[in-house]
Amino acid sequence: MRSFEHTGSPVRVVFGAGTLGALRSEVERLGRRRVLLVSGSSQPDVVERAAAGLGDLLAGRFSGAAMHTPVEVTARALESASDADVVVSIGGGSATGLGKALAVRLGVPQIAVPTTYAGSEVTSTLGETADGVKTTRSAPEILPATVLYDVDLTVDLPVATSVTSGVNAMAHAVEALYSPDADPAVDALAEQSIRLLAAGLRRIVTDPADVDARADALTGAWLAGTCLGAVGMGLHHKLCHTLGGSFGLPHAGTHTVVLPHAIAYNASAAPDAVARVAAALGRDRDAAAAMYDFVVEVGGPTSLAELGFRAGDVAEAARLATARPYPNPRPVTEEGVTELLTDALAGARPAGAPDFSWLTDQVVASFANAPDARVRQLLSDLVRRAHAFANDNDLTQDEWQYGIDFLTRTGAITSPTRQEFILLSDTLGLSSMVDLLTNSRTTETTPSAVLGPFYVPGPPAVAPGADISGDLPGIPLRVDVRIEDTTGAPIGDATVDVWQSNEDGFYDLQLPDLEGPVLRGRLTSDADGMVRFWTILPSEYPVPVDGPVGQLLESTGRHPYRAPHLHFLIDAPGHRRLITQLFVAGGAYLDSDTVFGVKDDLIVDFAPGEGSPPDGRAVEGEWRVLTYVFRMG
């Protein structure tokens, strides 16, 4: 199951052809009357039309928007209408950015009319430059109130700009697909965005005036911007930011060159997200190569060299882009980014995943003559999955060696009284998986649970009603359980082995100073199937953590605790052996047992005892009673 948090964007979006004509009514819809109209220097005729449409609502205008939103430009723009009650921005990312800077300063809403595929019109982030330093902040009030997408305004966008701006938008969608904050809604928007942008740009390059193609691209850009506003971005955005901010490379062009390489970098760590990118581009695999081929197809730049980046800048750019950690599917290392930048500098086509299946096939074929069919099946499948594991994760020599060392240490600590391999299997849930497969296929019998390492065969015989606690401290517990078959008939003469931890969570095997076996014993069911004895309430306890498994738990942030439980191993002639545990309802770690052994049907009320304790036992203070019916198949 996938858990997520999603907040819907409150931006009002008006999309269509000629929607600029609705500008005045959108201003009025917000209840505003004094418009500050801002833009860059391009498309002066569009700005003129907007001004005419606003008529007497126009309080001031400014057409000097600049890249990276310098604060001195914002200050000058403010002088144009410091009493404005709404800001209207027309243009690409620079105009939208200036609009945001003004709207937050004035505390008024913004209407954005984007003319490129930047996407920033639907985000609540503002990047501003002061004294050459760019700082970025996010706040709900930065988000424009209304976005007017007028497809007609994008028809004149030069093809080259359409391509880089469009691929820049695609980058938002790609990084959204593998963002840790993504959710099903964002996934759907991102995938559809890539599809629409790809379809739109392919047609725009052959016919820039194709209004339907323009509509597809602009819709894709809106969806991509929505992704950008909804989730955090990764390596690609960070790297492009560095290349733009510190090396002066053009924003959208840089995104276009870097995107295929960023996808290649993350492909092994986010295979599902990357597969969706490939699918959205119309390929069934190799998203990185598919994106590169797409950029070539639509005539975009493919090398950082053609944008002015130099080989001598690679090391510094890699250092800057990895200076501070941030979320990204594959860990971001200076070495990895250096390789990425070297490829991007040269404009190399990212290689598709190499196909090493011939090796797997050879190994599998080597088992073909194994006489035992089951051995053949298990070994062949194990090899296939182990090879796929190495391949899919791009396993490095160091990681493989670490795994070998880990298993070597696991073997070294294993002894007749310490089985670290079983503990490894337990903590990876493999023991519980095999247990489920073997023992829990019917609902009529009591579910089983793992044996664990603390069982000792042939425990001391215990008389009915006797106490197995050896006077160890703890809350006295009376156990009255019944053994039945699946028809409900009692099973007499069943051998019932029980064992448990003491009040501090230790088994007798772990306490060398303790005399003899204690808190364990063998009972026999009577003719009514009943087994009765006294003990103490079991406690939660950690599995042994002084070996490699303990290191694994610690390094993955997992606790080592088992929920409090009592073990049972029941043998009865004519019935399948039942190995199980009963868990104390309300006990600690029931929902995070470190060996994944808890099953709902095995959580039992260890109820407070009432009246006089059975078997004439004298008990001072609190005592508990466990009653349960075991059903054997």
Applying CB under 6 A, the residues found at the interface with ligand BEZ are 423, 426, 450, 452-454, 543, 562, 595
Region from 12-20, 196-204, 445-453, 542-550 binding Fe ion, contact rule CB under 5 A = 445-453
Which stretch, 263-271, 291-299, 405-413, 448-456, contacts Fe ion (CB under 5 A)?
448-456
> Could you say which residues in the range 495-534 bind Fe ion, by CB under 5 A?
none
225 belongs to the binding site for Fe ion (CB under 5 A) = no
CB atoms < 10 A from the CB of 588, how many?
Answer: 16
Using DSSP bridges, classify how beta strands 520-524 and 495-499 pair: parallel, antiparallel or unpaired: antiparallel
**541 or 628: CB nearest ligand BEZ:** 541
The minimum distance between CB 453 and ligand BEZ, in angstroms, equals: 5
Rg (CA), the chain: 34
Nearer to ligand BEZ, 236 or 565 (CB): 565
**Between the CA of residue 260 and those of 255, 404, 607, what are the distances in Å?**
9, 34, 62
Give the E-state strand segments of 119-158 in sequence order: 125-130, 133-138, 146-150
Of the pair 322, 535, the CB lying nearest ligand BEZ is at 535
Query: Minimal distance in Å, beta carbon 499 to Fe ion?
Result: 7
381, amino acid identity: D
Strand extents, DSSP E, 418-575: 476-485, 495-499, 520-524, 530-536, 541-542, 561-562, 565-571
Which C-beta is closer to ligand BEZ: that of 129 or that of 469? Answer: 469
Give the binding range for Fe ion (CB under 5 A) out of 180-188, 262-270, 446-454, 509-517: 446-454
Q: Which residue is nearest to ligand BEZ (CB)?
A: 452
x/- binding map, residues 238-277, to Fe ion, per CB under 5 A?
A: ----------------------------------------
The distance of closest approach from Cβ of residue 594 to ligand BEZ in the complex, given in angstroms and rounded to an integer, is: 8
**C-alpha angle 358-362-363 in degrees, rounded to nearest 5:** 120
Minimum distance from residue 597 beta carbon to ligand BEZ (Å):
6
Burial grade of 611 (CB within 10 A; 0-12, 13-18, 19 or more):
exposed
Q: Which is nearer to Fe ion, 309 or 628 (CB)?
A: 628
Which residue is nearest to Fe ion, using beta carbons? 452
Residue 145 interface partner, choices ligand BEZ, Fe ion, none, CB cut-off 5-8 Å depending on type: none
Nearer to Fe ion, 110 or 580 (CB): 580
- The span from the CA of 599 to the CA of 583, in Å, is 9
At 584 the three-state DSSP class reads strand
User: Closest approach of Cβ 454 to ligand BEZ, in Å?
Assistant: 4
- Of the pair 89, 469, the CB lying nearest ligand BEZ is at 469
Specify the residue, 239 or 472, whose C-beta has the smaller distance to ligand BEZ. Answer: 472
For tokens 């993504």, the residue is 182
Residue 426 touches which of Fe ion, ligand BEZ, none (Cβ within 5-8 Å per kind): ligand BEZ
CA angle 598, 602, 607 (to 5 degrees): 120
Three-state secondary structure string covering 222-279: HHHHHHHHHCCCCHHHHHHHHHHHHHCCCHHHHHHHHHHHHHHHHCCCCHHHHHHHHH
The answer to whether 452 contacts Fe ion (rule: CB under 5 A) is yes
- What is the DSSP secondary-structure string of 45-85? HHHHHHHHHHGGGEEEEE----TT-BHHHHHHHHHH-TT-S
Residue 117 binds which one of Fe ion, ligand BEZ, none, with CB within 5 to 8 A depending on kind? none
Which residues touch 418 (CB under 8 Å, ≥6 apart)? 453, 544, 547
Q: Which run of H or of E encompasses 515?
A: none
Q: Which is nearer to Fe ion, 91 or 538 (CB)?
A: 538
How near is the Cβ of 633 to Fe ion at its closest, in Å? 23
Task: Kindly state whether residue 550 participates in binding Fe ion, applying the rule CB under 5 A.
Answer: no
Region from 38-46, 427-435, 451-459, 467-475 binding Fe ion, contact rule CB under 5 A: 451-459
List Cα–Cα distances, 272 to 180, 187, 196, 278, in angstroms.
Answer: 13, 11, 20, 10
Does 459 help bind Fe ion (rule: CB under 5 A)? no
Residue ranges that bind Fe ion, judged by CB under 5 A: 452
